[in-house]
Amino acid sequence: MNEEFKGALDRLEAARAEGLDAVAATLSTAELENVRVQYTGKKSNVSQVTQVMGRLDADERKQLGAAVNAAKTELETALSKRQTELGRREQEQRFEHERVDVTLPGMPYPDGYRHPLLLSVREILGILGRMGYDVFEGPDVEWERYNFDLLNTPKHHPARDVQDTFWVGDEMVLRTQTSPAQIRYMKAHQPPIRAAMPGFCYRNEAEDASHADRFYQIEGLAVDTDIRLTDLKGTLTEICRVYFGEGRRVRFRPHYFPFTEPSAELDIECSVCHGTGCRSCGGEGWLELGGSGMVHPNVLRAVGYDPEKVSGFAFGIGPDRYTMMKYGITDLRLFREDDLRFIAQFN
């Protein structure tokens, strides 16, 4: 036998036995992968045995090739078997580590808190609901036509300026009030109607203790054949009585809004200073709760109503300020800071 051929067979046998021992000794699938590369890869001792092929005769090459293939097959079979064994063992260990004892008591998680503004919105809508008002929501991004034109706001009105309004396009704005929802509701319904329209409003103004660039509003609208200013005053007075309780003074001041005539502002006595004047009310002793008035005839015509046959009133409620006045909160910005110490007080 050719000595070189005999030496190749001896090295192959040694590599095969060493590889099988290494496979049997592995303790993890990661370690087994290293063994696979070491004993069956292109640079393994088993593969390197074939480097003498060129110096052997045909019969010896055939025998050596068969022996190399048999060794690789045996090693691969051992690797596959060991892979299955180790994989099953590691899976069992992971299952044991991750096992959950369903008989153990559950972990306590702290309860969440409802935001005070959400509580006020729900309470106010509940009051309006008991008065017969439907709830209707309009879009936050509104057409200029709905936000201004159909509400009888002239082109030259300063509210259209960029200093007051967030424009998102040539003809679209972030609504400055919930009044555009009035138009949408009246276009879809015929009198008599009662509707409450809640939602966020946006105005480009500085934030302070009583103002914000984003605030919540609830619009109220009533249209029928014989709606009068006394109905508006009675409605708002009753809302304040139910929400704030007995004993809180309210007042109506003449005002101007392009979409109502006559118009009025509703004020309530400051709960912090009780009318003497403080930082929360700007030293006035009163805090503005929202605007109101009789729906302007031009607005009624814009939605297809006949102002000779029907009339109506509209009002805007600011839940932010209602909440401040009810609970004696001195700074509007507290509502936006999401401090759990503050919110938890209303649970």
107, part of any domain? no
108, part of any domain? no
Name the amino acid, one letter, at 226.
Answer: D
Q: Which two tokens stand for residue 266?
A: 């509703």
324, part of any domain? yes
105, part of any domain? no
300, part of any domain? yes
Given a cut of 80, is residue 43 above it in pLDDT? Answer: no
Q: Which of 36, 68, 97 is the last residue of a domain?
A: 97
Per-residue pLDDT tens digits for 84-121: 888 898 888 888 888 888 888 888 887 778 888 888 99
- Of 151, 144, 148, 173, nearest to 302 by C-alpha is 151
**For the chain, what percent of residues have pLDDT higher than 90?**
32
pLDDT at 127: 95
pLDDT at 132: 93
41, part of any domain? yes
pLDDT confidence tier of residue 313, bands split at 50, 70 and 90: very high
* Overall average pLDDT of the 300-306 stretch: 94
The CA distance from 18 to 14, in Å, is: 6
pLDDT at 327: 82
In this structure, are 82 and 121 located in the same domain? no
102, part of any domain? no
Radius of gyration of the CA atoms of the chain, in A: 41
- Of 99, 15, 73, 95, nearest to 49 by C-alpha is 15
234, part of any domain? yes
Tokens 């910005």 found at:
333
Map 184-227 to HEC letters: HHHHHCCCCEEEEEEEEEECCCCCCCCCCCEEEEEEEEEEECCC
**Mean pLDDT value across the chain:** 85
Q: Which of 97, 130, 161 is the last residue of a domain?
A: 97
* CATH number (domain holding residue 291): 3.30.930.10
Stated as kind and residue range, the H or E segment containing 312 is strand 311-317
Domain that holds residue 319: 116-346
In this structure, are 54 and 193 located in the same domain? no
In this structure, are 264 and 144 located in the same domain? yes
Structural domain count of the chain: 2
Given a cut of 70, is residue 141 above it in pLDDT? Answer: yes
Q: Which of 97, 124, 157 is the last residue of a domain?
A: 97
Q: How many CA atoms lie within 13 A of 49 on its CB side?
A: 29
In this structure, are 47 and 146 located in the same domain? no
Among 35-49, 76-90, 295-309, 313-327, the least confident range: 35-49
